[in-house]
Structure formats: C-alpha cells, structure tokens
Amino acid sequence: MTIQQKSIDTIRCLAMDAVQKANSGHPGTPMALAPAAYELWMNHLRYNPKNPKWFNRDRFVLSNGHASMLQYAVLHLTGYEISLEDIKNFRQWDSITPGHPEYGMTPGIETTTGPLGQGIMTAVGMAMAEAHLASVFNKEEKIVDHYTYVFCSDGDLMEGASHEAGSLAGHLGLGKLICLYDNNYITIEGHTDITYEDDVAKRFEAYHWHVQDLGDKGNDLQAISEAFRKAREVSDKPSMILLRTHIGFGSPNKQDTPAAHGSPLGAEEIRLTKKFYGWPEDSQFLVPDDVKEHMNGMIGKGAALEKDWNALIGQYKAKHADLYQQFEGYLSQKLPVGWDKAVKAYQPADGPKATRQISADFLNAVAPQLPWLIGGSGDLEPSTLTMIKSSGYFERQNYQNRNIAYGIREHVMCAASSGLAVHGGVRPYAATFFIFTDYARPAIRLACIMKLPVIYVMTHDSIGLGEDGTTHQPIEHLASLRAMPHLHVIRPADANEAAYAWRMAIERMDGPSMLVLTRQKLPVFDRSKVAGAEGVKKGAYVLSPEQGNRPDVLLIATGSEVYLILEAQAALLKGGINARVISMPSWEVFREQPQSYRDEVLPPSCTKRLAVEAGSPQGWEEWVGEKGKVIGITRFGESAPEKILFEKFGFTVENIINKTKSL
C-alpha cells in the first residue's frame, strides 16, 4: 500500500470511527471525498498549520458541512491544533469538533457551514475580498495572491441560493474561486434521480464558469490533481470540477446507498469496510506513524510558505512604504483619530430627513477615512442610497472599486458579505429593503453565529413606505430579527440618531449590526430642548424627561414613532399627566447596559408604560411589563400613502393620548 493510499484510508477510518463513537453523523461523504481532500491539502492548498490565520493562505470551504469529519481528520493529520482526543469527542459537549464546521471554534475552519448552499455563497465573498485587495495593493510583489477552494454537494447545488452564487461569481469573473462538486447521486431520501437530474456542467458553463467533468474518477489522484492545476490556469473565470464519487466507498453493504449518508455504519459494517481497505479490522482511531510523519510534513512546508511571504512583505514595505502602511490599516481596521469628524450635526432648520438619506450622508462623509469599507445593494441603490460616490462599481478589471452591484440576489449578497468579513482586510455592508431580510435571513443568521461585524443597511422599515402595500411593508420583521442572538437591530428616530447608529455599527467588531431606516422624512429633534443623540449608543435613553420628580407614565418608541410620543408628551402634560419620553432604538444594546442604567431609564416604580412601534408588538412585554400596553400592528399592511396608513393603524398623537389615559 502506498503512503498516499494509506493516508487516504486513515482519513476514511477516522471518519467512520468518530461517527460510530458519537452515534451520530455522516460517514459516507468523508469516505468518498478522502482522495480529493488528501490531494488538495497535500499538493495544492497553501496554508500553515501552525498559523491558521496566516493572511496569504488559501481558503477552504466545506460547503457540504455535514461531511465535517473529512475536514477534522485532514486538519488533525496535517498538523493543526486538533488532537486525536478532539476527533474522539466529535459532536460532544464543549468539543472543538462540532457536527458542522464552526468558524472561531476549530483551527483551520474558515467559515461556519451546514445549511446547504451557504458555504459556496460565502466563498464567493472570500474570492471577492482577495480580488479587491490584490487590485488595490499588488505591485511587482504580489502580496495578496491566494485561492478559495470549495467542496460542494448535490444538496448545495439543489438549493436555489447556489444559483445566485454561480451567477454572481461568473459575472464577476472570479478566477481564484475553485469548486469541486461531489456528485455521489445520493441524498437522504434515496437516489438523486427521484428529484434531480440537472446537467451541472451546462448549468455552470451558462454562468460563465470554467468546467471540467472528471466522471467516475473519485479515487484517481492524478486526474484530481490535474483538474486543480488546470483550474488555476484559468484566471478570468471561476472553476467547477465535477467528480463522481461513491458515498461510503468500500462499505460492502452500504456503499452508494442513503444508509451511508446520515448515520453510523455500525460496528460490523465498519469491520468489513476496514477489511476491504486492508486495515486492522478491530482498530479504532488508528493513525499509523508513517501517515502521521507524511502528512505532518505540511507543517514545515507551511512554515516555509509563510516565511517566503514575509520576505516578500519586507521587500514590498521597503519599496512601497506608504502603501504598506495602508495595507496594515486594511488588515487592522483600526479607526483613525477623527474618522467621523466630517459627519454633520443636523438641526431642525435643516428640515425633515429620511433616515436612509442620513445613512447616505454618513457613508460618504466617512468613506475617505475608512477605505476598507466596501459594500452594495441588491439592485436597490437608488432607494437604499448606499453608493460610495468617490468610487465606481466592483467588476471585472475594476476590482479595486468599492461599490458592489449584487443584482437581485439578496441570498448571496448577505452570504458574500460574511465571506468578505471572514476573509479579512475589508469591512462589508449590505443593503436592501427591510422586508427582503426574508431572503437574506439564513446568511444573516450565520453571520450572527460567527459574530461577524457585517453592517446591514435595511431601508423602507415599516408601513411608512406607503403605496407599495402589503407585500413590501414589514410587520413581523423587527420582532423576528430581535429574536436572533448577537444581532444589534438599531432603528433610529431622527437624523442625528441615524448618524450615531452608523457610528455604533462601524465601531462594533464582535457581531453584526442592522440599521433599520425610513423611506419617509422625519422631523429633526431640537437637541437644545431634548437629550443629545449620543444616548443611542446605550440602546435607549430619556429623550425628554418628565416634569418634576417622578413620571406618571413612560412613553417608549423606536424610529418614526418617537416624534409622535414626543408630541403626545406635551399634550398629556396639559391634561395633568406627567410623561417621560424614551427613545429605544436598540433593545440588544440596551440589554448590555448595567442594570443601574436600565433602571434609570425605565424606573421599576413606574409600571404605567406605553410602547409605540409600527410593527408586531411581540417582545415589548419585556419593557412595558404586565400593566403596560403596546400600540403595534398584528395584521398585514395596506396600499396607501404613509400618512393615511399611520392614521388608519392608530399611529397618531390622539390615539397615543387615549391609550395613555386608559392606563
């Protein structure tokens, strides 16, 4: 047996043993893809096992994340800090080998995958980041020069999201994106022909990809290696390699069956399979010494690759000192002193402003100071107003530009934004109408799981968008997105709050932020008469205090409804009701404040509370308590001008006064 074959079978047996011990998992795909993984990691992928974050490494994405044991086995064998004990603890509490790969948990994992289609979309963003940084910084010395490799499956390509990934990557000509499609003809329910007979080669050729169909060569290392080499030679198109594999390869009774997909093979079947491999039949978690020595050779090779790159960086720094300093700034994303000094402070005399317009003003005021800020819209820039005016569109031959035209592809827009973020060197924002978070939600959720500092700019935030009607008016979206851990949802109430909301999003590095902005114009609060907008940074603040020592009632609102409760406060006072007005743009940020501050804003002794928000009332009980009330929306919207909609749905000063009196 050659050392190559012995190494491949080690990967296969580790996968079988780990799934069997966990009594849970997917052994068949790791067994099928072991030759391709071995060939990629040993002869093509550029990485340093002892420094998994080395910047110029190639990126690898296991889009079919259910095959996680394939990646864990390869990472262990090539010298990453994943021990054999970690392999034995596959899928167990507090292990670094969870059921699907998770970013930030396991060395060598570049992105969280598992929901099919998400990995390949995220990889598009990684390739975009590489293309952008290479275009901005490379001179004779190519200091940014690496590939993004993806393994994907039938399931990935069945998901409609893969269409968006393929279409966008092909349009952009991302030549350093290389995908290998594991075509094993098996899904959970059975053979793929019960549901799927796409001509994948023609499909990706139609997307303008370079396509190679290797046929039934899942165990042919030479053919696989040659395919990777040819893919790298094509610089103006992403590449798709089609590879026929046999799920559960070597299993005498379960190969090419659904039984090899999502459950352990069973002790007897594992014994028979190991016999087929010529492996010690009763062994468990065996890593032969010569395999360990052979595959651990990548430690030295990886260190040499990084050393060579460091030498190249030294040459680059000597010749292009200013550009190198900028490169370091892109990588660190440290905010320069006074980065936001060009942001305007708005006055009532400026007239009413839509918070989406303030977002545009802010973005263009800070863009020169934050050159690593990059992003775009899902074909809605004239409405979301998210164009960096000093730059053109990111496109073929113009990857240095900062505006990304994602087209009508919200799925890949947000997944690629995660890819841009995990790649490093850029800070992404993504924009669309708030209602279309429905399309982007899976990618947003993964960004939250990974705690990525992606900025989502979501406009047309309520029934206030008006005549587009029911289909475009978000009702349940604030509640559902607030339920998502790690996401900061920020709905500012006026121009100055909107500017501070952007500041918060820029400054946050431990998770995503979502700015929820209006289409309609809102009054600019007179900050000489109410509290300063910097209170936004605490999630909620007393915008206008009560008269005297204690409030009779607390009026709480977000976004476009805050000015209504501010007007109601004055009218209520004339009737002898002393109200406190609280602007609460971000529940999540407010929760992060000390209890003492929260009690200062929402005094526990005042139980008469009214919340006003043009969306679902779900969740407001946390802030208004058992005795409080909410003016919200529990049905879908209507098509009409926004002023009529606000009146018909009860978002009027008169209704607020009546509800307050009823408390």
Closest CA to 353 of 531, 505, 498, 170: 498
* Bridge partners, residue 374, by sequence: 428
* Bridge partners, residue 575, by sequence: none
Question: Whose structure tokens read 């795909």?
Answer: 29
317 Cβ contact partners less than 8 Å away, ≥ 6 residues apart: 324
**From CA 655, how far away is CA 60, in angstroms rounded?**
57
Report how many helices (DSSP H) and strands (DSSP E) the chain contains, helices first.
25, 20
Q: Report residue 353: phi and psi, to 5°.
A: -135, 135
What kind and span of H or E run contains 300?
A: helix 297-319
What tokens were used for 108? 């060598």
Please give the torsion angle defined by the CA atoms of residues 463, 465, 469 and 474, in that order, rounded to the nearest 10 degrees.
-50
**From CA 257, how far away is CA 529, in angstroms rounded?**
72
The number of C-alpha atoms within 13 Å of 42 and in the hemisphere containing its C-beta is 26
Contact 121, 165 (CB under 8 A): yes
Distance of CA 265 to the CA centre of its chain: 34
The number of C-alpha atoms within 13 Å of 456 and in the hemisphere containing its C-beta is 34
Residue 233: is it exposed, middle or buried by C-beta count within 10 angstroms (0-12/13-18/19+)? Answer: exposed
Residue 289: is it exposed, middle or buried by C-beta count within 10 angstroms (0-12/13-18/19+)? Answer: exposed
Q: Report residue 356: phi and psi, to 5°.
A: -65, -35
What tokens were used for 110? 């570049």
Closest CA to 42 of 224, 276, 238, 243: 224
What tokens were used for 546? 């009560």
Angle between helix 118-137 and helix 161-172 axes, rounded to 10 deg: 20
Contact 437, 411 (CB under 8 A): no
Catalytic residue among 39, 110, 410, 546: 410
Contact 563, 494 (CB under 8 A): yes
Closest CA to 308 of 40, 54, 38: 54
What tokens were used for 66? 């259910």
349 Cβ contact partners less than 8 Å away, ≥ 6 residues apart: none
The full DSSP string for 585-622 is: S-HHHHHTS-HHHHHHHS-TT---EEEE-SS--TTTHH
Sequence letter at residue 230: K
Per the annotation, the verdict on 410 as an active-site residue is yes
The number of C-alpha atoms within 13 Å of 17 and in the hemisphere containing its C-beta is 24
**From CA 613, how far away is CA 624, in angstroms rounded?**
13
What kind and span of H or E run contains 276?
A: helix 267-277
Q: How much of the chain is in helix, strand and coil states, percent to nearest 5?
A: 45, 15, 40
Residue 565: is it exposed, middle or buried by C-beta count within 10 angstroms (0-12/13-18/19+)? Answer: buried
**From CA 162, how far away is CA 102, in angstroms rounded?**
20
Q: Which residues are catalytic?
A: 410
